[in-house]
Structure 1
């Protein structure tokens, strides 16, 4: 009869599980799109990809390499991210343990005194153990092992562990993405600092020219060949250049402090050789094919892993609709005297129990969690597709920028040469009274602006190469 009763119970539980399964909502979610164009606009297809080389090979300046090396060890934000990765790694261990049996050792001691004028007191008054009255107060001692285990029949716990692994891997890619950005940010700041040094040198040289011109104008005034107005205009131009020098010096201080912050150091001098700035070669960068972005870009890999984790989280939320099956058991020794604990089998106790729990009525909270999980999965799909599209556009824009900057630099270089020659010519003409002093001032100002613009363009070229290297997915390996 007992077997028949057990079979009936199992049959009922099976029917109930099927009924609960049939009531689970289902939502179809479209598959993510990861297609990219075959090439970047008019660029020819070439599988050679600069992103696959390490940043130590990409950068040739030993001073810059030393700064990046220091930053990878001492940058505070990167170290914070490293600890975040460790937290996700610990989550894997925690989730892995949840679908394994829990075994604990349990011990206890208690003393109880009941009133004699109660049912328990009356019963104890009439009992005798080994010819002795029931002890008063009553002591109870126990020691043993207890175990519990939730059977992961719907793979909920295993999916939680897999999701934790994906989140950990996503955090690793997030750290790699931070490294890529950190490398690029330090390189940008380093070249910005070198450009400021060159601008300061140009201002210093131009100031010398202006002071020489001012001397000439003063001599011309003494010889009654020009007016006080010309002297005042030249003096004002010298004063303006002096103020611009102080502004550049302040920018240099700020940029040095920014680099020191990035490398985790207190303010100090940044070692660099700015005299070679305009001669730094602009190396060619090979963009490869757009599909390689999926392999090289850490932000795309991070978004992909987060999408996979969101799919598992949706399955986990769906599993909450299904019944859970748990098993608990224990074995140990129990007696009212410590000396009797070792007497077996009299003091031996054990238990075994199973429980079957499933939601039937008022499942709104579970439904809401399931809907949220689906919404987050859809968000992850859009985030993944957006990241791919953004990566492609960034590379396409920077490739065009590099080509146009090359042309801009060539024209600005010619402009600087022409205006530099014009300074000497305008000064000679002014000395011989064949040119107005305004022409001298204008020529000097135009030459100064052209030289500074040439330095800016060189900086933009170097930064464009850095940005393209970053956009292709380089800098983290």
Structure 2
């Protein structure tokens, strides 16, 4: 074995041993364990997360608003550009482990000093027929040049896979954004309808109180009551009329919020408000908790981010190992243009191999490696956190829906009783068997009870929408509307019906 070969082998061995000094770091295995059910009373036969929003909502006005929002919402369009960036990153990293080939040409001139090494050589060197070297020597060249890093440790291929996983995570991020957008539009729409009902209730109450005011004035005229009753009724009418304008302002603000979600300037929102109090939210099947891992886009996003973080550790570890590269070139080179394409005199070629590994001052590489490990642990905790959060959200809404059903039933009985008491109190007041305050307070209590009943109905719809979002519904038909990634899941495994 020649001396040069032994030196080369010992150099390679030294570089390999240098790579053995990689710090020992800890990693975290994610915990995806969830309870088997959400508790008693929940439907476990399939999940309504597989429902498309046109299967959950039957109001055509709401469906049209959601369609427009998914197409025009600015946040969604911004997210689409982020997805394009992530997709381009895959292409960039994929090209990194392929050979780079370029075509180049160059021209330069040089005059060396006579008492330099090159100058001394030129002084005693003929190039042809005894002619002296030119004092100003040119250099012209063109050819193909190539460089290629051999991806022995899969660093470049792993980096490409990281980019692919990050792209998939961004796709899930968009789906999560769609899920939240659908829920926001639906909740704002039901809030708008509830405000319409509040306004109608308030106007009816004002009309009742104005009629009562006229009755009190007539009774005062016949000296059966005093001016205090008249003033109290006038004040009550004025108070509710002022509140009337407050509700109208809330309606305007809610309409504008919906238009903002739809990515357009303020305009009237078409809606159907008349049957709101008689309608019933639909019942959603929640399935089993483990289905959240598939249905929730934010959980799937965290899963892809965790996979990317794991691979990034391998990428960072590969920086400790030697890198192997090959450089080659072929072309023509001459000191004068007239000789440039002479073959084989001006034909030039080069090929070289490179072997390099960090030996001294590896602080930056060690820091990157530790950071990659820390980010993997962070991603694992975030993944677990999103799983727990999803389960908690579903559990909370199931309890919320059950309690709101009972609350609405009790408030409905309260409103019925108070509505009947208004007529009774009015008759007693006309026959001078009760004071006007009893009538006034009964009307006030009835107005407040109806307001609370409408709010409870709104909470019922909001809880259903929130449960649909918490289950991971609302993104499966975005392909049909926005012409993006194919929707997962087919059909519906959840059963819908009116809530009893």
User: Structure 2-normalised TM-score?
Assistant: 0.92
Distance 2:278 2:110 in 1: 92
SS of the residue 1:419 aligns to: helix
Distance 1:344 1:6 in 2: 34
Q: Which residue of 1 aligns with 2:121?
A: 123
Distance 1:265 1:422 in 2: 47
Q: Which residue of 2 aligns with 1:19?
A: 17
Change (3 A) 1:44 1:420: closer
Map Cα deviations across residues 322-376 of structure 1 (whole Å, 9 max, x no partner). Answer: 1211111111110112221221111111111112111122222222211111111
Distance 1:337 1:188 in 2: 79
SS of the residue 1:145 aligns to: strand
- Aligned CA-pair RMSD: 1.4
1:38-77 correspondence runs (5 A): 38-43=36-41, 46-77=44-75
Shift of 1:17: 3.6
Distance 1:432 1:443 in 2: 17
Q: Which residue of 2 aligns with 1:377?
A: 376
SS of the residue 1:148 aligns to: strand
122-131 or 98-107: bigger deviation: 122-131
Distance 1:234 1:423 in 2: 15
SS of the residue 1:171 aligns to: helix
Shift of 1:55: 1.1
Tell whether the 8 Å contact from 2:330 to 2:349 is kept in structure 1 after alignment: yes
Distance 2:215 2:389 in 1: 58
Shift of 1:6: 5.7
Q: Which residue of 2 aligns with 1:287?
A: 286
Q: Which residue of 2 aligns with 1:429?
A: 428
Distance 2:166 2:254 in 1: 36
Map Cα deviations across residues 85-135 of structure 1 (whole Å, 9 max, x no partner). Answer: 110000000110111111111110112233445443443343332223323
Q: Which residue of 2 aligns with 1:466?
A: 465
Q: Which residue of 1 aligns with 2:274?
A: 275
- Structure 2 unaligned spans of 5+: 477-500
Distance 1:421 1:103 in 2: 89
SS of the residue 1:276 aligns to: coil
Tell whether the 8 Å contact from 1:144 to 1:332 is kept in structure 2 after alignment: yes
Distance 1:56 1:188 in 2: 15
Distance 1:303 1:115 in 2: 66
Distance 1:318 1:115 in 2: 49
SS of the residue 1:279 aligns to: coil
Q: Which residue of 2 aligns with 1:189?
A: 188
SS of the residue 2:365 aligns to: helix
Shift of 1:209: 0.3
1:68-467 correspondence runs (5 A): 68-116=66-114, 118-131=116-129, 132-467=131-466
SS of the residue 2:353 aligns to: strand
Distance 1:181 1:13 in 2: 58
SS of the residue 1:274 aligns to: coil
Distance 1:117 1:30 in 2: 67
Structure whose residues are more often helix by fraction: 1
Tell whether the 8 Å contact from 1:257 to 1:267 is kept in structure 2 after alignment: yes
Shift of 1:14: 3.9
Shift of 1:173: 0.3
358-367 or 191-200: bigger deviation: 358-367
SS of the residue 1:37 aligns to: coil
Distance 1:31 1:429 in 2: 74
The total of aligned residue pairs comes to 475
204-213 or 52-61: bigger deviation: 52-61
386-395 or 364-373: bigger deviation: 364-373
Tell whether the 8 Å contact from 1:39 to 1:45 is kept in structure 2 after alignment: no
Distance 2:89 2:152 in 1: 22
- Structure 1 unaligned spans of 5+: none
Shift of 1:231: 1.0
Q: Which residue of 1 aligns with 2:27?
A: 29
Distance 1:265 1:11 in 2: 69
Distance 2:97 2:7 in 1: 25
Distance 1:5 1:352 in 2: 23
Distance 1:44 1:249 in 2: 39
Tell whether the 8 Å contact from 2:42 to 2:285 is kept in structure 1 after alignment: no
SS of the residue 1:129 aligns to: coil
Tell whether the 8 Å contact from 1:163 to 1:309 is kept in structure 2 after alignment: yes
Change (3 A) 1:237 1:54: same
Change (3 A) 1:113 1:21: closer
Distance 1:178 1:20 in 2: 47
Tell whether the 8 Å contact from 1:148 to 1:328 is kept in structure 2 after alignment: yes
